[in-house]
Structure formats: C-alpha cells, structure tokens
Amino acid sequence: MSLGARTAGAIVAALVMLGIGAASRAPWTASPADLALLRLSWRVQSETAEECRPLTEEEKADLPVHMQVPELCEARAIPYLLQVTIDGSEAVSDTVHGAGARADRPITIFREIPLTADRHDIRITFAPISGGRADGSVDAEETDDVVEEPDDDLEETDDVVEEPDDDLEETDEDGEPDEDDEAEEPAGVRLEYSATIDLEEHEVALVTVDPGGRTLVRAGAP
Amino acid sequence: MGIRLRTLNRSAWRPLSAVDAALNRLYGWRFNPLYQSGALAVVLLGVVSLTGLYLLLYYRIGAPWESVERISAQTWSGRWIRGLHRYASDAALVAVGVHALRMFAQGRSWGPRALAWISGVLLTGLVLLCGWTGYVMVWDVQAQALAVVGARMLDALPLFGEPISRTFVGDAPMPGQFFFLNLFLHIAVPVGMGIVLWVHVAKVARPTLIPPRGVWMGAVLALLALSILWPVEMAPRADLLRLPGEVPLDLFYAIWLPAVRALPGWAALASLVALSALVLSVPFWTRPRADRRPPPSQVDDRLCTGCVQCSLDCPYEAIAMIARADGRADLLAHVDPALCVSCGICSGSCAPMGVGPPGRTGRDQLADLRAVLSHTPPMPGQIVVLACDRGCGDPSSGWAPPGARVHPVPCAGNLHSSIVEQWLRAGAAGVLVLACPPRDCWNREGPSWAGERLFREREAELHRRVDKSRVRLAYANRRERATGDAELERFRVELAALDRIDAAGPVDPIRECDPVLEAVE
C-alpha cells in the first residue's frame, strides 16, 4: 500500500473520530429561552358515594336467608373537576377520575402547562363534582350518601378553601394512618391556589399540596 | 413487490459498495472496517464493558452527577476512561448500523437468516437501552430530558396506576432507588446482550467475533486518542425545577429526542412500536415471492460418498451427516431446508458433484460450460475471468476488459474446481477467479473456500494435473473494476512469461550447465 494511501487512510480515520466526537455532543436547544412551565402534581384519596335502596320481596326471595339484607348499597367513585385559569383564560377544565378499574383508587394529578417566562395570574381549583355539579358546591340532599364527608357543615364549602376534618384521615385496622396514602389530602376536599407569579426563563413553577395536605402551594417558592 | 424490494436492496447496496471500494483503496480489503462491522461492534462493546467496570468503582447512586464529575476530574485515568467508554459505545452503534445496512443491502435478512436479523434488531434495541440508562446515570441536562421522555412513554402504557412522570416532579431530591434501578439495568442489559448475541450467531458456522488485529487495535487506539485529546465534558446538573436549555446531545443514542420530546407520550410510544415493528418485519417483507426463492441444496444419494466435506464447508451448518438407509457403510449428507440459504458453497465442495442447489451443482456447472464451449470456445491466448456476479461479474456493471472473457458465476465458493480445469483444457491461457473480498461475501465463506480448493488441496481440490500457475484468485467488489483490470494485467504479464518459457521448450540441465562448467574450468 502506497504512502499516499496510508496518509489518506489516517486522515479519514481522524475525520471519522472527529465526527464521532462532534456527534456525541451536538448542541441542542431543548427549550426556547422564553419558555417556562407550570407543573401541577398531587394525589388525593378518591371519594365514594353510596347509593342504597331497599330490596324487593322478589330479590329477597332469590337470596339465601343470611344474605337478605334490608338495603342494597352500591358505592360509586366521585369524580373531581380540575380547573386552571391563567391570566384570566381557562387553560384546563378536566373531569378526573380515580385510578383503577372502579375508579376508586387515589386520584393523581400531573399536568404540565407551557407558559412564557413572564408574570402570570394563576388560579387553580380542584373540587369534587357532587350531584352532577362541577362548581364544587354540594347538594345537601345528595351529600347524605357521601361516605367520607370533608366537613360536617356542608353549606360552607363554597367559601372555605380547605377545611378538612381531621377525623376523616384514613387509618389502618390498627388505627395507624395508612402509609399508602402518603398523608395526602383526605377525600372530598376542595383545593385552590391563586397567585401571581413571576417566571424566569426555563423556570418550572410546581404547584402541589402542602406537606400538611390541606392546600395547594407552590413548591420551592420564596 | 419483489421488484420494488430488490430495488430497495440495491439502492442500499450501490452506495455501500462504493464506500467499500473507497476504503479498500485506503486500507486494503483485509483491514476495511466496513467489512468487519459486526465483529468490530462486539470488540467495541467489550471495550465499553471493561471501561465501565472502572467507572462503576467510582459511581455513587447517592450523588450521581457529582461522582461522574469526580471521575472526569481524574486527569490520568477517569477522564480518558470515561471518554473511551462514551466514544466506544458511540462507535459500536455506528458499527451495528453498518452491519445491519450491509445485511439488508445484500438481502441476508429473510428465510433461515431471519433469526439472525430479528436477534440483531433486539441486540440493537438492548444497546440503545443500555445507552439510555448510561446517559441517565450521569444525571445532567441530557439525562433529565431522556428520563422525562422515557417516563412519558411509560405513562402511555396502561400499566401504572400513577404516572411515572411524577417521579420527576422536582418537589424532592431524586430517590436513590431510581439510580439504583437505572444502574442495575445498565449492568443487567449487557448480560442479556450476551445471550442474544449467542442466538444471533447460533445458525452460522465459525462466526467471526473478533476482527483482524489491525482493525480492532486501530479502532481502539483511535478512540483512545480521541478521548485523550477531546475528553467528554460535564454538562450542567439536572434540575427538575428548570427546563433543560442548551443540551449537548449524543446524536448516536438520542437523535430521536428532539422529535419525540415534541410528541405526546402515546404518540412517542406508538412511533417506537411502529418503527420496531417495521424493522422486525424486514424478514417478512424482503423475502422474495415463493416461486422466486432459490431452492435449498439437494443431495444425490447415489453420488454421496459420505466424505463430510460439504458438512464442514457449509457456512450455515445446514448439512448433517446421517446413517445411510441403503446398506452402504458410509454416511450420507442430509440438507436441512430450514437452515439452507441456497448459497451453493456445497456445490464446490463435493468431488463427485453430488450436492448443491438444483441447477447449480458441479454437474450442472459442467453441463452449462460444455454448452458454452460448444459454440464459443475461448480464443487462443485468451484469459477467462470467472467473476462473482455480485462483484465485477455483475452483468449490469458492463465490465468487459480487452483480451479477456468475463464469465459471471453466482459465487466463487460455488465454483467447482473442475470448471477451472475445463476452461484451461478448452484452450484458455489462464483462468482468473475474481471473487468478492472475503468479508464481503454474500455467502460468508465463498472466497475463502475457493482459495483453499484451488491452491491448498481442500476438497474438491483443483486436480494436480492442472498447471496452477495459470490460475489466479483475486478479490474485487462491484465498484472495483480498476482493481479487476490491474489484476488481469498482472496475470497477463505472468502468463506471457510462462508462454515464453514454454516456447523455449524443455530445459536440458546438462546443456544448460556445460557452458558454465567450461567457463569455471
């Protein structure tokens, strides 16, 4: 093989190596400079409502004696409404259900909303949809069936942002708090967040439940 | 469909053979790295494993980015070892890509080779997964982007009650369990790759897992030089409460990241599934129509002497020797049609010409040759070139060197040595067998066995009565007609010298030596 071919071979090898080196660190602008993000992330225990009706005589007759209960009760999970308003315009309005085939597992919220790096008015509400109403208000008659009521005084729920009843914290059989629920918000709670925030470029504003599990807060905010 | 697929194969093969030819000029076919791509990938992954062992000693799942930074700060060891780890994994993926392209271009992806193709795709997927986990281990901004996209794709699966993406919310430091799981995958996946590699080469005889020393040492030294001269820098640490801005992206492992990041999780996952299905189904949609598939070899029981040579030569272990049922003591060759790719290597290995694909056995080759010679015998002094029809013998290449007669053959490994002898007997001045370069053979071992049969007494060897100085074996791919011309010219000069010697008549030692002795006295 000639010296020229060897030299050319060495040059080609060097160029290939340079190509590998350059391609292993190609510059990429992953996010535009003026981009920021609103991130919502929390988890609440789903709420169930129980509907009961008396068994008919025929139904009772079809059942064994020991199963002839006076009422037949069916539990259904109550959905929540998540509403996010940014600078006066509605960005999100979603009905969310609990996880699991029967929707009775905890409700997990994880949303990311791109924003410009600027000042924004943020309003977030997360409330159970009771009696088919999506505004978080509760129908007194229908709430009679709600198993885990957030507050005895249901008339006040429109005005109270978060006032859960401590007695409603779920416990294990031994009376200890259920660790699976991560001490998060008990069922039936209406959560709200309202603030004006200044977002720098590439900043992520994380809104989550506070450590006490009673309200929405911005994590890491000064 | 078949025609379109052939077009697709050829459109990949043409540029590849052009690049092959260029690198043959620079490095020679023995050291052409493109011919060694599969074996080179194995060696490079071995380098990645060795360097990874060192990095593992210093990596901390409790402080991933900081520990990698400490490694990178080790001027005399960690810095270049990390660089070699990264660059060798990049180069391995390039080698894998070239290897896959070569197999696709040569149509070596369907039938009995389908298992090798599918396992190769799985291997590639594992290499990519290993690279993914490796980049996440560093926990820099690229790792953040990769992890978040991966979580979004996982969330698209209806398997998890809670979004995996919540792991990367940023409300708490990343748990050590995440980095432990990632590290576990990064180590376990290569173990799985070893098993799949075994499956990958299970259906080939004598798999080449190590390229020539010059190739692998050259590649490793070049990568080492790169890692010393251009070490891998640390990118900014991942911060889940900030979007990654300027990210140094590894195009080999994450070229898809910008596109996929813009897609919803389900669309990214669907794209991945669709692409995987497309690549995995290559054996299905590249196979020719049933009536166009080359038939597997057959054995003529009456001619088989049980010599086992065809079984030894078969590159795909498709021939087994079984006991005869007709009472003869010797064994009988048996071709497994499920393994036979109809390469025809066995045609050239059988002295009594009792095995080979229908129409391509040694006897068929002789019959074809007699038909050719009956109406166009070689002109006196003419050189006959028996050229692989996937190399310089490709009729569409239009190669017609003056003073020579090019006769295409399916593969030099198919060629029965008797054909060479018959051409010489018919009056050819010499026979030049122009094979594809050995590592470029579509049938794996054709040129190697051709050389052994013509010059090294391998069954079925060229008969001793044939003057082997009038036979030449050379290598050139389809785009190396200049190489073919040069080999032909060199052969022509040698044959002319032989002709002059022959014209001088037999040598009389006494007459030749007497004048010398008289002079001495």
Regions of chain B with pLDDT less than 50 = 2
Bridge partner list, A121 = A196
Where is pLDDT greater, at B55 or A162? B55
Identify the CATH assignment for B293-360 out of 1.10.10.10, 3.30.70.20, 3.40.50.300, 1.10.3210.10.
3.30.70.20
With a cut of 70, say whether residue A141 has pLDDT above it. Answer: no
Q: Which long-range contacts (CB under 8 A, 24 or more apart) does B324-330 make?
A: B326/B301, B330/B304, B330/B305, B330/B306
- Between CA A176 and CA B395 the distance in angstroms is 84
Prediction pTM value: 0.85
Q: What percent of chain A has pLDDT over 70?
A: 72
* Total number of domains constituting chain A: 1
Q: Would you call B257 and A28 a contact, using CB atoms and an 8 Å cutoff? A: yes
Q: How far apart are CA B406 and CA B383, in angstroms?
A: 9
Q: Are the C-beta atoms of B477 and B67 separated by less than 8 Å? A: no
- Give the A:B interface size as CB pairs under 8 Å: 124
| Cα dist from B203 to A210, B83, B119, B343, B423, whole Å | 61, 36, 11, 14, 36
The per-residue pLDDT for A106 is 87
CATH of B2-237+249-285 among 3.30.1360.70, 1.20.810.10, 3.40.50.1370, 3.40.190.80 = 1.20.810.10
Residue A23 and residue B252: Cβ atoms within 8 Å? yes
What's the pLDDT score for residue B517? 66
Contact, B475 vs B437, CB < 8 A?
yes
B223 touches chain A (CB under 8 A): yes
Q: Do A204 and B27 lie within an 8 Å CB cutoff?
A: no
| B26 touching A (Cβ < 8 Å) | yes
pLDDT of residue B305: 93
Tell me whether residues A39 and B230 touch, CB distance under 8 A: no
Give pLDDT, residue A214: 78
Per CB-CB distance under 8 Å, the chain A contacts of B23 are: 12
Domain ranges, residue A39: 29-47+77-219
Chain A neighbours among B 102-161 (CB < 8 Å)? 141, 145, 161
**Closest chain A C-alpha to B244 CA, distance in angstroms:** 6
pLDDT, tens digit (0-9, with 9 covering 90-100), for B12-47: 888 999 999 999 999 999 999 999 999 999 999 999
Q: Does the distance separating the beta carbons of B170 and A204 come in below 8 Å?
A: yes
pLDDT at A186: 44
Report the residue of chain A nearest B242, measured CA to CA: A203
Per-residue pLDDT of A28-84, as tens digits, reads 999 999 999 999 999 888 778 888 888 888 888 898 988 888 888 888 888 899 999
| Residue burial B381-397, b: 16+ Cβ < 10 Å; e: rest | ebbbbbbbbbbbbbeeb
ipTM of the complex: 0.90
Q: Which residues of A touch B247 (CB under 8 A)?
A: 27-30
B250 with A24: Cβ contact below 8 A = yes
CB < 8 Å to A14, chain B: 222
Nearest CB neighbour to A35, from listed B90, B225, B243: B243
β-sheet bridge partners, residue A77: A48
Extract long-range pairs of B396-401: CB within 8 Å, 24+ residues apart.
B397/B478, B397/B481, B399/B481, B399/B484, B401/B484, B401/B485, B401/B488
For residues A190 and A136, the answer to whether their CB atoms sit within 8 Å is yes
* Band of pLDDT at residue A98, cut at 50, 70 and 90: confident
Q: Where in chain B is the domain with CATH 1.20.810.10?
A: 2-237+249-285
Chain A residues with CB inside 8 Å of B226's CB?
17-18, 20-21
Would you give the distance in Å from CA B340 to the centre of its chain?
A: 18
Q: Is residue A210 part of a domain?
A: yes
DSSP string for residues in A11-40: HHHHHHHHHHHHHTTEEEE-S-TTEEEEEE
What's the mean pLDDT in A198-203? 95
Q: Is residue A127 in some structural domain? A: yes
Identify the pLDDT of residue B329: 76
What is the average pLDDT across A5-32? 96
Is A58 within the bounds of a domain?
no
Interface contact A27-B166, CB threshold 8 A = no
pLDDT at A222: 57
Most confident segment among A3-12, A142-151, B161-170: A3-12
CB B232 to CB A202 under 8 A? no
Q: Which residues of B touch A219 (CB under 8 A)?
A: 170-171, 241
pLDDT at A127 over 80: yes
pLDDT at B4: 62
3-state secondary structure of B409: strand
Which residue has 């029967």 as its token pair? A102
| Among the four given CATH numbers 2.70.50, 3.40.1360, 3.30.70, 3.50.50, the one describing domain B373-521 | 3.40.1360
CATH 3.40.1360 domain position(s) in chain B:
373-521
Please name the residues between 243 and 282 in chain B that touch chain A, using a CB distance below 8 Å. 243-252, 257-258, 261
Classify strands B404-409 and B383-388 as parallel, antiparallel or unpaired. parallel
Q: Which pLDDT belongs to residue B5?
A: 63
User: Which 392-451 residues of chain B touch chain A by CB within 8 A?
Assistant: none
Q: How is residue B103 written in tokens? A: 């197999």
Q: Which two tokens stand for residue B191?
A: 């173990």
CB spacing of A30 vs B240 below 8 angstroms? no
